[in-house]
Chains A and B, each alone.
Chain A
Amino acid sequence: MDFLNALILLLNYIFVPALAYGSQLAIGAIFVTLIYGILRFANFATGDMMSFGTMIAILFTWYFQSLGLSLWFLPTALLALPFAILFMGFYMLIIDKFVFKYYRLNKSPPVQLAMVSIGVMFITQAVVRIIIGPSDRRFFDGEKFLIKANEFKEMTGLNEGLAIKSTQVITIVVTIILVSTLFWFLNKTKTGKSMRAYSDNEDLALLSGIDPKKIVMITWMIAAILATIGGVLYGLDKSFKPFTYFNNMLPIFAAAIVGGIGNPFGAFLGGYVIAFSEILLTYAYKKFFMYVLPESMEPDSLIQLLSTDYKFAVSFSILVIVLLYRPSGIFKGKIL
């Protein structure tokens, strides 16, 4: 029984939250990796693009709520998602036309594009803050828990409860659907294959008649989908605050690089690597050992490897270690 309790404890405090957080990071990391692989620059506006998409989704959510629309037990934001993605795609294309296109056509070095993306970051951040303000916003509605801790305790008779928030389930389900569709698209369809070819060798791809304009446009569209969905899932699970989104760029970058930048599958797994290591290393294992060990050996301290303050630092340290020993990431990067 104690063993089961310990297991539920880990499931409740580590596995489920890390899986949800990892999914959110993974979507962002695929976004980064896609831009890096096809458009060939490190996009420092990642976090802010995600917050822009989320902002649009929130505005639509408010509009739908004022109309009285809802999705039964699901959050209204899911209904707003397609509209937000459309808007976001439009926004991405405008940015590309007025900002990135010039440098792409001039074949500027990636560093210059990265600098330009900082300009985009500033502007997007300003627009988001001017439109919706810098404050913390919750836009989740609908059923909050799928399984409540108390219900679980009653159901199983265990000491430890397992609470699963519906946002966590939504996150995981949406991620699975989104990522599998994306991989199917990249690997099986003609457009996806041409994207991969373009990423692998631009000149060769152009020679074989691939239209670069189309590739770039589709890339931005996919980026819009990823940015909006990733941002909305994070916002539903936690809350929407522009500054947090900007900061989330850092673990997302870490995830993309750890997985091997330019490699979507690596980025996908990188998200989970980062999320699990963050939570595993900062969790206090005292209770777990109380269940597992006999009473005489019970620990007095918290058995916490690192204080939770260092959550971000953990993922960055992993990144540094990976960069040192395998600069191309866990999965070899640069093959889309």
Chain B
Amino acid sequence: MKKNLNVIVAYSIMMGLIILVGIFQSWNIALSIFNLCLISAVMTMGANIQWGYAGLINFGIMGFTALGGLAAVLISVNPVQEAWSAGGTNILLSLFLIIGIFLAVRFVLKRYQKSKIRNYIITAIIISGIIIIRFVSEPGIEAIEEVNPARTGFLGGLGLPIIFSWIVGAFFAGGLAFVIGKVALGLRADYLAIATLLISEIVIAIIKHEDWLTRGVKNVIGLKRPAPYEVNLQETEWFINLVEKFNSGKLALISDITERQAALNQFVIEGSSVFVKLCYSGLFLFVVIILLILTQKALYSPWGRMMRAIRDNEEAANAMGKNVVKQHLLIFVLGSAIVGIAGAMLVTQDGLFTPGSYRPLRYTFLIWVMVIVGGSGNNFGAILGGFVVWFLWIEAAPIGLYLVNLTTAGLEDTHFLKVHLIESVPYFRFLMMGIGLLLIMRYRPKGILPEKIEIK
């Protein structure tokens, strides 16, 4: 009990802060912060597995998040039949061609000795393959994008419940991580950081501009939900009764019947959106807890010990017969898969997929700040980091506004400096993140909840 005291204290303070937001601002805001904190926590767990357990820098978190989001679209949206009949065959043919090229390259790689000629052959196969694919796919893509471009213009998905996409998102992200890992994991730490950052930009570029698959910057809106819709809730009997029971004290104070009805309606509307958010919170919490149990088990397993050994001294671990390359690849895939889950969760909660919103600052660097601030190598720390940093990220604007008002209290309201500062309040969050990160790195380099290794 005593040794976990700091964890308990840190988490109680965090929950207290969110509850304070609920009391002073509104429960809606508090719950939406809480939900995004949970999603951030999943992302930080993924990054923490890579960085904290194995010391791999992955600056491509944005790409994996986006792939998770793409999975949500491809799983949940109903298939667009017209688009499939217009260009489906071309797309499928291109897919087979890609597989064909892949197999051909593998065949050449296996069959022939390493030589210049082999390299030329492979280049020739790939280039000619790309040209053929372009000729095959172009008419299909054009046909698909012409099908009702205002509403669809893409192939659509499978029409399954969106929850499945959380698993599929993990597979998507894991698959990409496998490819990236094969290519880039041999690089030195900072090269790896840059390479993953740039590769994630490539992924975003593809998602943004391949309209036939993702609708690109036209966005996909109105995705299915795992939770009930507010409008439906407001009309269901049991929910109204529930809200009435909750607010019976306040309602009893109102004597007039019509006024009481109006107040009840107001409560129902507020309550419905809170209820929906609570549903999401429940789902997300479930995922976070399962992942936490799994990652904790992994951390204290022989495998976790091996990972730390590799992290702390690669050569020694290698000399002990551990396959460093293989383990690095494994952990890179696992961590990225978790980030993929988070990406799918994020799109599920928003109900829309906006490729244009994926930016490295928000989806890569902010997650890294979370991991570093929370405590790398410690799962509880990483989750806490997700909570603290996201909370600050959202509440930075009100805090900034308060600070600006405080410091410029002596100035008139129309003074240009005051107006300018109040206009730039949204950017105080960057300032806060930067200062927070620098202070933590300087004075508490292991994060709020540092890693502690206990031998069980």
Binding site for B on A (CB under 8 A): 41-42, 44, 99, 102, 109-112, 114-116, 118-127, 129-130, 133-134, 246, 250, 253-254, 257, 261, 307, 309-310, 312-313, 316-317, 319-320, 323-324, 327
Contact = CB atoms under 8 A, between A and B. Distances in A.
6 contacts: A118-B368, A122-B431, A246-B361, A313-B206, A316-B198, A323-B187
B421 to A, nearest CB: 7
Contact of A257 (B191, B209, B437): B191
A125 B445 CA distance: 23
Contact of A125 (B197, B430, B435, B442): B430
Contact of A122 (B183, B208, B430): B430
A114 B205 contact: no
Contacts of A41: 190
A115 B194 contact: no
Nearest to B194: A253
B99 to A, nearest CB: 21
Contact of B194 (A126, A130, A257): A257
Question: Taking chain A's interface residues, is the majority helix, strand, or loop, or is none over half, making it mixed?
Answer: helix
A124 B368 CA distance: 17
B164 to A, nearest CB: 30
A102 B442 contact: yes
A119 B437 contact: yes
Q: Which 10 A-B pairs have the closest CB atoms?
A: A122-B434, A123-B434, A126-B430, A126-B431, A119-B437, A316-B198, A309-B209, A129-B427, A119-B438, A42-B190
A309 B434 CA distance: 31
A332 to B, nearest CB: 15
B57 interface: yes
B424 A130 contact: yes
Contacts of A261: 191
Interface string B176-217: 000000011011011101110111011001101100000000
Contacts of A109: 189
A31 to B, nearest CB: 15
B419 interface: no
Given A118-B368, A129-B424, A309-B209, A253 B431 contact: no
Contacts of B445: 112
Contacts of A307: 209
Given A253-B194, A309-B209, A320 B183 contact: yes
Interface in B400-444: 421, 423-424, 427-431, 433-435, 437-438, 441-442
B201 A130 contact: no
B11 interface: no
A142 to B, nearest CB: 29
A133 B194 CA distance: 28
Interface of B: 57, 183-184, 186-187, 189-191, 193-195, 197-199, 201-202, 205-206, 208-209, 361, 365, 368-369, 372, 421, 423-424, 427-431, 433-435, 437-438, 441-442, 445
A253 B191 CA distance: 10
A323 B427 contact: no
A99 B421 CA distance: 26
B365 to A, nearest CB: 6
Contact of B195 (A112, A134, A323): A323
A317 B361 contact: no
A312 B360 CA distance: 14
A39 B438 CA distance: 18
A129 B208 CA distance: 26
Given A126-B430, A313-B206, A320 B198 contact: yes
A120 B434 contact: yes
Given A115-B372, A126-B431, A327-B191, 9 more contacts: A110-B189, A112-B445, A114-B57, A115-B368, A119-B435, A125-B361, A250-B201, A312-B205, A327-B187
Contacts of A112: 441, 445
Given A111-B57, A119-B438, A130 B198 contact: no
A124 B423 CA distance: 18
Nearest to A327: B187
A265 to B, nearest CB: 20
A296 B201 CA distance: 41
A254 to B, nearest CB: 6
B399 to A, nearest CB: 14
A319 B200 CA distance: 13
Of A121, A124, A126, A324, most buried by chain B (CB within 10 Å of CB) is A126
Contacts of A126: 427-431, 434
Contacts of A102: 442
A120 B437 CA distance: 9
Nearest to A133: B424
A116 B443 CA distance: 12
Nearest to B203: A313
A286 B415 CA distance: 57
Contacts of A257: 191, 194
A273 B429 CA distance: 37
A123 B431 contact: yes
Contacts of B191: 257, 261, 323, 327
A133 to B, nearest CB: 7
Contacts of A319: 195, 198
B197 A115 contact: no
Given A129-B430, A250-B201, A122 B57 contact: no
B190 A111 contact: yes
Contact of B201 (A115, A124, A316): A316
A241 to B, nearest CB: 14
A99 to B, nearest CB: 6
Contact of A116 (B184, B208, B441): B441
Given A111-B189, A246-B361, A313 B201 contact: yes
Given A123-B435, A246-B361, A307-B209, A313 B428 contact: no
B205 A130 contact: no
B202 A313 contact: yes
A130 B427 contact: yes
Nearest to B131: A305
Contacts of B435: 119, 123
Nearest to B55: A111
A99 B440 CA distance: 12
B438 A324 contact: no
Contacts of B187: 323, 327
Contacts of B430: 122-123, 125-126, 129
